[in-house]
Structure 1
Amino acid sequence: MYADELAIEPPAAARRLLGATLWSGPVGVRIVEVEAYGGDPAGPWPDPASHSGRGRTKRNAVMFGPAGVLYVYLSYGMHMCVNVTSGPDGTASAVLIRSGEVVAGLETARARRPAARTDADLAKGPGNLGSTLGIALSDYGTRLFDPSAPIRLELNGSAGPDEVVSGPRVGVSTAADVPWRFWLASPAVSVYRRSPRAPQSAVRTE
């Protein structure tokens, strides 16, 4: 099963998703930027910045399930953030899809994101990506490798190690220097912004 390719540690799953295509109806987005997140202290990848960092809740329950399932949450009361669960069943982890390039359904994507200045901006940043794909909270729990699912994930060839850049995750106030953000060279990659609540660091970003 394709989901088995994501039933691995968070950074490896994040890298595997780079270059994959996420489909929602007619719109297809090639993934160019991701962030990996681990789980609770009892698991193999404790991560205080993760939604599952303090254990299972109704909101994050899908993160503890099998890999290849859609985890959607609302950020700042307006943005739908799209995540793909990873790791073995019963172990919490997921990958936030931060940015992508629209490779199909461009007219639909433009209609959903009329404020986008360029096509590269359509799915640049997690909130914009969710809007471009038309993702809703009701899509939570979708099995992305089910051929009949309204939202589907196609794993394409893995990006080579020389193609992938890594750095700190965006906007987290804890574990702010963990280099679990990964991206490919693309104008659709979002700008790094460090949380003002995060401790000062000498770590350089892109």
Structure 2
Amino acid sequence: MGRYTDIRRGVELNAALTKLRAYEDLTRAQKQAAYKAQRGTSVKVKPNKVKGFVESFNLAGRIYLPVRLLSDTQSGNTDITTLVREAAATTGRTIAVGFTVPQGGVLLDGLTGFKAARFGVVKRGAAVADNESRVTDIQYARYDNKSTSSPFGSQQAGNEAYATAVSEIKDIANVKTFLASEGNRIYFAPEII
């Protein structure tokens, strides 16, 4: 049995459930149209990507794996793409194509299932006027946020622990300045092999 507060919301929740079921009955095209209508003029970050390499955290030895890195020729949303690109490239955590493989290093291409560690940022945008859920018509606080991320690996000296790399990226002055703005946040995803 629910709490009294849950019971009192029964009529409101039943109305939301009815709207949810009506939304679920829409075709995929109708759902996408509803999303686009609500999204309005918001523009997603479309990063330019170039081929590069990262050194693995988890493989033994100096193993370099191919990844797609943020290009320095980005146009639009350059504040966050530059922040992420520069933070990931600090002390050689990302490497451009054509680098000289160090003695004993190996370029490993085609490793199935590999996902490089990622550093990403979410920049809080302006509050969106249309805050109504397109599914239930309930009001929510929404912002026109922008986000992007980049792979990173062990620094070029090799044998760096993932936790050390995360800690050093968090300590970069530009990252701390970015986090000082309300609503801005960063995130990390570990390497998967």
Please, what TM-score do these two structures have when normalized by structure 2? 0.29
Q: Which structure shows the higher helix fraction?
A: 2
Structure label with greater radius of gyration = 2
Q: Which structure shows the higher strand fraction?
A: 1
Please, what TM-score do these two structures have when normalized by structure 1? 0.28
